[in-house]
Amino acid sequence: MLTLARPQTGWVITSGHAGHREPCLGVMEALGIKPEIIDVAPSPIHSYLAPWGPAAKDNRISPPWPDIVIASSRQAVPYARKVRRASGGKTFVTVLQNPKLSSSNFDLVWVGEHDDYSGPNVIRTITSPHRLTDARLKSDAKALRRRLKDHGAIAKPVVGVLVGGKSAKYDFTPEEFRQLGVFLRKFSVTHDLGLLITPSRRTGSQNIEILENELDPDRSWIWDETGNNPYAGILGLAERVIVTGDSVNLIGEASFTGRPVMVYPVKGHSRKIERFVGNLEAAGIVREIHSDLADWSYERPDATPEIADEILKQYSRHTMRVSK
């Protein structure tokens, strides 16, 4: 039986975007490591050449090398390769999301099942890693209920609404935000529900205002991006979750609640996201939203501990090899 060695020190290397950094931190936290966070910003030429080209000089990427690196984003991949090479292979290097290079360049790669990527050292899960835990949902839900104690939205069955925004694949226009607001208002009135709504960094203040103008203020609350982010609290309070269909992370994290997840379609096309949603529909986790109020249950997915467990197994084998 393999005795699992545990890494003690770690770096998280990303381009600084939350969609890349948060999953890395979630896995590090599951490993019990408080990592050094390195947000890289390579020069335009190095960024253009990433992930295939060399890493730009960065004084933070230097000895002493950590036990483990978890990297994510195209710009971070050259630095992950550099650490593996410069440490003489002693640092265990994991990349989250498709690195666009052979997995032989790393010790472990994680991708979603919807991604066209495979290899002998690749782990695949139906949803993405994240930083949510049951304890966080519970504590943040209590804090949010106190924050909104006088608001009518929490006097009713609560539906959480996670809203994305314009991206390379989805042109989420102001008119679409208006239509979303109209739909949410009618949905909440028809079923006598309270709506707790959180935008993402892609939503934008103008679209938040458009959405808010269409909602019933007595039964809807939307985060105005001031004060503590209520994201985990909303998921903790929600009896159902509505998610716009433009984000793998938002849909996957909603499914961590184990409650019905309804996907609101957005105009645009992403083969990967559509395949991801299709996988979750086939697993009975999500459904496209309609005007009715269906109820269902499922075995909730949680990729974070699964990835952390695989890292520990592979890290233990790795330490045995490099110590010989």
Q: What is the 3-state secondary structure (H, E, C) of 40-105?
A: CCCCHHHHHHCCCCCCCCCCCCCCCCCCEEEEECCCCHHHHHHHHHHCCCCCEEEEECCCCCCHHH
Instruction: Please give the sequence-ordered ranges of beta strands (E in DSSP) within the chain, or none if there are none.
Output: 10-14, 36-39, 68-72, 92-96, 108-112, 122-125, 158-163, 194-199, 220-222, 240-244, 261-264, 286-288
Indicate the pTM of the whole model.
0.92
Contacts of 16 (CB under 8 A, 6+ apart): 39, 40, 41
- How does pLDDT run along the chain (324 residues), one tens digit per residue? 556 789 999 999 999 999 999 999 999 999 999 999 999 999 999 999 999 999 999 999 999 999 999 999 999 999 999 999 999 999 999 999 999 999 999 999 999 999 999 999 999 999 999 999 999 999 999 999 999 999 999 999 999 999 999 998 898 999 999 999 999 999 999 999 999 999 998 999 999 999 999 999 999 999 988 889 999 999 999 999 999 999 999 999 999 999 999 999 999 989 999 999 999 999 999 999 988 888 999 999 999 999 999 999 999 999 888 776
Superfamily classification of domain 134-288: Glycogen Phosphorylase B; (3.40.50.2000)
Contacts of 165 (CB under 8 A, 6+ apart): 172, 199, 200, 201, 202, 203, 204, 207, 246
Note whether 10-126+303-322 and 134-288 share their fold. yes
Q: What is the structure's pLDDT at 2?
A: 59
Give the number of other Cβ atoms within 10 Å of residue 297's Cβ: 10
Q: How far apart are CA 191 and CA 180, in angstroms?
A: 16
> In CATH, what class is 10-126+303-322?
alpha beta
**What DSSP state is assigned to residue 268?**
B
Domain range summary for the chain, segments of one domain joined by +: 10-126+303-322, 134-288
37: which strand partners?
12
